[in-house]
Chains A and B, each alone.
Chain A
Amino acid sequence: MKEKKSNPRQTGSFSRRGFLKGAGITAAGTVIASSGVLSLHGQAPDTNKTLGPDTITISMKVNGKMRKLSIEPRTTLADALRIKLQLTGTKVGCDRGSCSACTVWIDDLPTLSCMTLAVEVGNREVTTIEGIAKNGKLHPVQEAFIEHDASQCGFCTPGMIMSTAHLLDENSNPTLDDIKSATRGNFCRCGTHPKVFVATLDAAGKM
């Protein structure tokens, strides 16, 4: 790993993500196993419930699978997903809760992963953009986004789809205003909103 680190661009098979992953493991240091995290939500309190500040191991249900990961209490859910679990579909734009690019569902509620601590997810279920396709078939909103060319640079697209797909799961016959309300928080600097609206309306018709 050291060789790659010193001159990563000369290694043909080297990827930036691979490098980040490797660096992450080196930095993680001692892993202190803790059973507290799983009992966080609604179960019996532990005798010593203070976690961290150093690395702890938690389990988290992501896209239907239980995953084990080492994090610090300060690790945001966005970083845990992207860096620890390699689920890089979730994007981080502002990292302050303003742009909604990092939207994931926690127990089916659209939530900002950049403003959620991974340690606080507990036994709730996380769904990311990677988890909404079913049985190898894209979600109707994903298909409609492709069909209507509803993304330009694409950075806001995963968040935009998590907002609109959630809307359609709740309301299969939304009005244009419903779609505008659902995407109120999702910034798009390319200005794709009109196509996002059309794609979502089209997907609603096909659900």
Chain B
Amino acid sequence: MNKFSFFEATSVEEALEQVNSTVSATIQPNASPGASVLKAGGIDLLDLMKEGLSKPEKLVSINNIPQLKEITFDEKKGLSLGAGITLAEISANARIKADYFALHQAASKAATPQIRNMATLGGNLAQRTRCWYFRSKYHECYRKGSSTCFAQIGENEYHAILVNADCASVHASSLATAIMAFDAAIEITGKEGKVKIVSMNEFFVSPDVDRKRETILEAGEIITAVILPKVKENMKSHYIKMGERESNDWPLAEVAVVVELNGEKCKKANIVLGAVAPVPLVSESAIEAIKGQTINEQTARAASIAAMTNATPLSQNAYKVPIFETIIKRALLALL
């Protein structure tokens, strides 16, 4: 890692006074020197720095800001999770397990026990893709501003099978898959305490919109909370991750489903796929197929096949299609 100075912030305001860059801006080949960036758990940031991709001159730690550790419940707004709570804390939270089961599952299955003790909710959502071309300092890939996505003709075993024409990376956050399925919102605080609330769809940026970033976060902004809407009666959720190894691994495919049931009939559904595209993807086709239907083997299968109709696998990742078809079906049937 390059040399850097270190500042520990005790409040959001203090942290934002210190930063002048996003981590993403430091990864660009023409990154300007003197960058000062936020550091939470550091799992993603230190990795980028150790690989020589990011060379900030100052790290501003946000690990000891009480506001970011708060979990609050409001009858109207729902459950607000401070961005600084760890994956282990999400996994151990009884209310999350009872009301937002898919999120509990996603947090419990992500990474390793050690990483879950360190990694934060906000950092998990803001982390960069694990595409090996993006993570290699020798490859000036599409996501670093060039016009070449090396995965298109290179090694693309773990890459995207949907919306993969420009950049075939997959989004790295498993939590995002589950959080998006609950229609959650993200609270972002800017300088002078300006707060904005955005939907998960607005938060993630597709490479065709802006290739150099994965979220809308600007320098001087920080995720302060994730707000999960209050659960409705008859709402159920489930999350499935399939990896190469059972012990711990990045997902090859993952799905989160949240439905409102009327008996076994699906009144309303949200189906979100992860490890499938450069951003977590709401599968409109699968939702359309299952909405208003009684959930059973046949309808669940139809929805899962609908989700993959537009798949455009690359040379090495067509195997992902049947995996998605299987886990979408299984997740829907698990709700019964």
Contact = CB atoms under 8 A, between A and B. Distances in A.
B208 interface: no
A185 B42 contact: no
A110 B115 CA distance: 9
Interface stretch (B43-51, B196-204, B253-261): B43-51
B140 to A, nearest CB: 22
Contacts of A186: 112
A117 B42 contact: yes
A116 B247 CA distance: 23
B61 interface: yes
Contacts of A73: 3-6, 59
Interface in B1-55: 1-8, 10, 14, 42-43, 46-47, 50
Q: How large is the interface on A (under 10, 10 to 19, 20 to 34, 35 or more residues)?
A: 35 or more
B50 A95 contact: yes
Contact of B1 (A40, A54, A74, A110): A74
Contact of A74 (B4, B10, B114, B115): B4
A42 interface: yes
Nearest to B59: A73
Nearest to A56: B6
B96 interface: no
Given A73-B59, A96-B50, A115-B43, A51 B5 contact: yes
A93 to B, nearest CB: 12
Contacts of A120: 6, 8, 61, 63
Contacts of A40: 8, 64
Contact of A163 (B1, B10, B113): B113
A115 B46 contact: yes
Interface string A161-204: 00100000000000000001110111000000000000000000
Contact of B3 (A52, A95, A110, A163): A52
Contact of A97 (B5, B115, B247): B115
B248 interface: yes
Contacts of B8: 40, 49, 120, 122
Given A53-B57, A74-B3, A112-B118, A45 B10 contact: yes
Give 9 closest A-B pairs by Cβ, nearest first.
Answer: A185-B112, A73-B6, A53-B3, A52-B5, A53-B5, A109-B117, A51-B6, A74-B1, A184-B248
14 contacts: A49-B8, A73-B5, A73-B59, A97-B112, A100-B112, A109-B88, A111-B114, A111-B118, A115-B46, A115-B118, A116-B118, A119-B6, A122-B8, A163-B114
Interface of A: 40-42, 45, 49-54, 72-74, 76, 95-97, 100, 103, 109-112, 115-117, 119-120, 122, 163, 180-182, 184-186
